[in-house]
Amino acid sequence: MIIDALSKSRAHAAERLQQWAALDLPVPPTWCVSRGPDVPVAFDVAAILEALAGKPGAGDHYWILHQGPATPGSQRQSLVNLDSDTALSAALVQLFSKADAPDQVIIQALPRRHAAGVLFTRHPVRQDLEHVIVEGVVEQGVVAQPGTPESVQERLILHRDGLVAYSSQPESALIAAIGARPFKALADQLRRHFERPQACEWVHDGEQLWLIQTLPVGSLPRPEEAWSRRAGSGIWQQAVSPLWYTLAGRWLKTGFWRPLGERLGWHDLANIEPYRRQHSHIYTNSRFFLRLYEQGGPARLTGGLPPAWQPRETPTAKPWQWRRDGLRRLTTGLALASLARELQQANAVTPALGDLEGQWRQLMRYDRAGERLAAIDGWLAYCAPEAPAEAAAPTGDAVAAVQLAQALPPAHLANLQRLGLGREATLAPHTGFGVDPVLPRFSAALPELAALASVSPERRHALARLADAEAGNIERHVRWRRQAAALREQLGSQLRSILATMGQVLVARQLLRRAEDIHFVYFDELWSLWQRQGQVQDQRRLTPEKIGERKVRYLTSAYQGAPDWMLDQVAYGVKLDQQEKPVLKGRALVPETASGPARMIHSGWALSGLEPGDIVVLDQCEPGWLPWLALAEGLVLASHDPLHPAALFARALGIPCVAGVDDAMHCLVDGAPVRINTPEGSVLADDGQAPRQAL
């Protein structure tokens, strides 16, 4: 690049071009042409052409002339495309002949343009999506592929990994002429070098993608606060009752986050809550994940960070450090075994119905056990090393069967094996749909069990073989996670028992109408009711109508789902109406085609509506849901995690499955006929037409 001494009016543009070239961004060959003492009659560009020999501008080329800011004070340059040397010479003469002519002008040379457009490094509307947005046009005659439209404005949406998430044209000329990888590579470069999201003008010459200019996208500010629903890491999976939130949320706060923050010196986070319950779901404060990731936490923490908070460079990995991990890697196994014994001993004690003090002491005993378990849970979820992930494999993949068997708590694995052997009526009573004590269990003779009789013989055979898949050594962190999950469920079951007794007492004391209402009071309200402190005030506040409103909100959120993100108090990734919207494409895990009615599973309560032949659509998944997923004709997963329980389940049983379908939970309508196409990884309406517009 040759840059002469510049006047102040041109210095900024030239400086930016120099910087971009120094950053290895694909900037075209650039020159600064001076007017000289006399306005020339014509410009001889032979010297420039000679310098172009062997460069992209050589041969059949065209020129880009920078005319200065598009508007006064704007960073955007006014660009003119000139298709010949003669046109460039004439344009320079015309520009320098003006009364207010500049002293210098910047020109760039490019081969003939095959395609051109704009690239956004982040979605210009959705702060919750990491997608790359590409808009452009392929010139007429560039693509000689039947059915591929040319000279039509197209829009592509790419996943962060570069796979096509959406195309406005079924046969994309941009993909045919350029492909997705050059756009991903350019977006990655821009992300690394620019803190703010960028809108980049690009051209393609048939061989290479070139950057013409790039500007920050002002419509995408960095949020001040971010709360994520998808950051449960196996702890929070679905709607939770008020009592369980105030128990389990407090356990993790006092047992894990607060001690961790004190050791690592997070004084500014000392009085900030790590969790919040909205839409009956638990949201995690992303500030805790960002701080932990910056101090060497595992890469999976980035799943709890919004796109604007994603670090431009990956911090140095720190598999273990004293202040963060303490002795967890040495003591976790012993601590889990100790907790198992404590819960077993506590379960052997059953306070009498009239022993009010004994019942409260029993609840406090479980409360202390929950806090100890939360300290382990938090470390395993947010600090322990990543679990090994195998690449997606073909239908009936044996690796997926092993991973699934080794990841599931033993009771859940046994349930799948019983289902495979046709003994679904004997599913273990202490397992179920989740850890929240309000959720139903198999011991309640659930009507959902009858539907399992329709599982096909082929899938039963695959389930029965999961017993053999468990053989072999299990990585210790995976083993600890499954043990902790089993203890969470055991604790939930034991809490359900004591809370049922306490609920009866509160009904007898006329403080609640129904025993189940105890799950819809917060812990401080339960303590006040139990101690009869402020009885009149509590009765006025906790009226049957108030409890009923909480139940309705809880069940509504359990069936309809909740936003994925709360950014600066704005909800993202949520269906604001009941109209079907286009769905972004994902990645085919099991490349088979399937069709049927969409069945949205936001929580265990919705499993009662699942029937054979449904296309099951879900995001997070409790292990207790897996027997019912064996009824699915196909699966659509919003998660990108290759170790997602439903993803492993689909691969192990050969269920047609598309994963990484962003916004699937919020764009499909329950019961609407859909068809999943693989290996394209697309989700189509029943009429077979691809989505017509992007989200």
Mind giving me the DSSP string for 355-413?
-HHHHHHHHHHHHHHHHHHHHHHHHHHHTSPPPP-PPP--TT-HHHHHHHHHHS-HHHH
- β-pairing verdict for 132-138 and 154-158: antiparallel
Question: Mean pLDDT: which of 167-176, 484-493, 538-547 is highest?
Answer: 484-493
Rounded to whole angstroms, how far apart are CA atoms 642 and 469?
18
SS (H, E, C) 319-364: CCCHHHHCCHHHHHHHHHHHHHHHHHHHHCCCCCCCCHHHHHHHHH
| Structure confidence at residue 694 as a pLDDT band (50, 70, 90) | very low
Please state the rounded mean pLDDT for residues 13-17.
Answer: 73
Q: Could you tell me the pLDDT band of residue 106, with boundaries at 50, 70 and 90?
A: confident
Of 52 and 61, which is predicted with more confidence? Answer: 61
pLDDT of 53 = 54
CA distance 28 to 5: 20
* pLDDT > 50? residue 41: no
Predicted pLDDT of residue 632: 96
Closest by Cα among 619, 626, 605 to 241: 605
Q: How far apart are CA 442 and CA 307, in angstroms?
A: 40
CA 169 to mean position of chain CA atoms: 26
Note the pLDDT of residue 344.
Answer: 94
What pLDDT shows up at residue 22? Answer: 82
Residue 391 pLDDT more than 80?
no
Residue 286 pLDDT exceeds 70: yes
Which DSSP string corresponds to 434-445?
-SSTTS-BGGG-
Residue 369 has pLDDT above 90, yes or no: yes
Report the C-alpha gap between 113 and 91 in whole angstroms.
Answer: 20
Q: Is the pLDDT of residue 537 over 60?
A: no
Return all residues near 44 (Cβ < 8 A) that are at least 6 apart.
89
Nearest-angstrom CA–CA distance, 81 and 66 = 9
* Residue that has been written with the tokens 């382990």 in this structure: 376
- Backbone torsions φ then ψ of 668, nearest 5 degrees: -95, 155
In this predicted model, what pLDDT tens digit does every residue of 317-336 receive, in sequence order?
A: 677 788 888 889 899 999 99
Lowest mean pLDDT among 48-57, 470-479, 514-523: 48-57
Rounded to an integer, the average pLDDT of 28-54 is: 63
In a 13 Å sphere around the CA of 593, the CA atoms on its Cβ side amount to: 6
- Residue 406: pLDDT band (50, 70, 90) is confident
Cα–Cα distances in Å, from 89 out to 42, 70, 83, 496, 618? 6, 22, 11, 84, 61
Provide φ and ψ at 126, rounded to 5°. Answer: -95, 115
Does position 77 have pLDDT exceeding 90, yes or no? no
Cβ–Cβ under 8 Å, residues 597 and 671 = yes
Are 311 and 318 a contacting pair, CB within 8 Å? no
269-279: average pLDDT: 94
Q: Among 579, 562, 587, which residue's Cα sits nearest to residue 685?
A: 579
The mean per-residue pLDDT over the stretch 339-352 comes to: 93
Segments in 519-569 forming alpha helices (H) = 523-530, 535-541, 544-560
Cα separation of 364 and 357, whole Å?
11
Nearest to 253 by CA among 81, 157, 378, 386: 378
In this prediction, residue 113 carries a pLDDT of 84
| Counts for the chain of helices (H) and strands (E), in that order | 23, 22
Helix residue ranges per DSSP H, 204-298: 242-252, 258-264, 286-294
**Ranked by mean pLDDT, which of 13-22, 145-154, 415-424, 549-558 comes out on top?**
549-558
pLDDT of 289 above 50: yes
Average pLDDT over residues 465-473: 68
pLDDT at 167 over 80: yes
pLDDT tens-digit map of 539-574: 557 889 999 999 999 999 999 999 999 999 999 987
Query: What are the residues whose beta carbons fall under 8 Å from the beta carbon of 42, sequence distance 6 or more?
Result: 89, 90, 93
Residue 157 amino acid letter:
I
Which tokens is 496 given?
């359900």
Share of the chain above pLDDT 70, in %: 84
One-letter amino acid identity for 403?
A: Q
Rounded CA separation 494/514 (Å)? 20
pLDDT band at 9 (very low <50, low <70, confident <90, very high): very low
Residue 12 has pLDDT above 70, yes or no: no
Helix 457-464 and helix 645-653, axial crossing angle in degrees, nearest 10: 110
Instruction: Report the C-alpha gap between 600 and 615 in whole angstroms.
Output: 9
Residue 8 has pLDDT above 80, yes or no: no
Q: Which two tokens stand for residue 607?
A: 């499993």
In this prediction, residue 692 has a pLDDT band, given cuts at 50, 70 and 90, of very low
- Token pair for 453: 């009789």
Question: Is the confidence at residue 202, as pLDDT, over 50?
Answer: yes
pLDDT at 599 over 90: yes
Per-residue HEC secondary structure of 68-88 comes to EECCCCCCCEEEEEECCHHHH
Maximum Cα–Cα distance across the chain: 107
Angstrom distance (rounded) from CA 188 to CA 460: 45
**pLDDT value at residue 6:** 35
Q: What average pLDDT is seen over the chain?
A: 84
List all residues 6 or more positions away from 344 whose beta carbon is below 8 Å from its beta carbon: none
CA–CA dist 306, 567 (Å, integer)? 8
Buried b (16+ CB within 10 A) or exposed e, 275-308: bebebbbbbbbbbbbbbbbebbbbebbbebbbbb
- The yes-or-no verdict on residue 504 having pLDDT over 70 is yes
Please determine, for residue 39, whether its predicted confidence score (pLDDT) is greater than 70. no
Check residues 574 and 652 and name the one with the higher pLDDT: 652
Q: Cis peptide before 679, with omega less than 30 degrees from 0?
A: yes
Predicted pLDDT of residue 690: 44
What is residue 2's predicted lDDT score, i.e. its pLDDT? 41
Residues in CB range of 503: below 8 A, 6 or more apart:
512, 514, 515, 516, 517, 518
Quick one: angle between helices 476-508 and 523-530, nearest 10?
A: 40
Query: What's the pLDDT band for 37 if we cut at 50, 70, 90?
Result: low
What pLDDT sits at residue 536? 47
**Residue 88: HSE in the Cβ half-sphere, 13 Å Cα cutoff:** 24
Selected residue with higher pLDDT from 389 and 371: 371
pLDDT at 429 over 80: no
What number is the average pLDDT over the span 72-99? 77
| 376 neighbors 337 (Cβ within 8 angstroms) | no
Going by C-alpha positions, the residue among 478, 447, 404, 479 that lies closest to residue 610 is 447
- Quote helix, strand, coil % in the chain, to nearest 5: 40, 15, 40
What sign has the CA pseudo-torsion 584, 589, 594, 599? negative
Specify the pLDDT at position 540.
Answer: 58
pLDDT band of 465, cuts 50, 70, 90: confident
Is 70 exceeded by the pLDDT of residue 576? no
Report the distance separating Cα 462 and Cα 398, nearest Å. Answer: 10
What local confidence, expressed as pLDDT, does residue 345 receive?
A: 94
User: Is a pLDDT exceeding 70 seen at residue 260?
Assistant: yes
pLDDT above 90 as % of the chain: 47
CB 661 within 8 A of CB 637: yes
Domains of the chain: 8-216 (no CATH), 222-388+475-574 (no CATH), 587-685 (3.50.30.10)
Structural tokens at position 682: 């697309």
Higher pLDDT, 63 or 460: 460
- What confidence score (pLDDT) does residue 5 get? 36
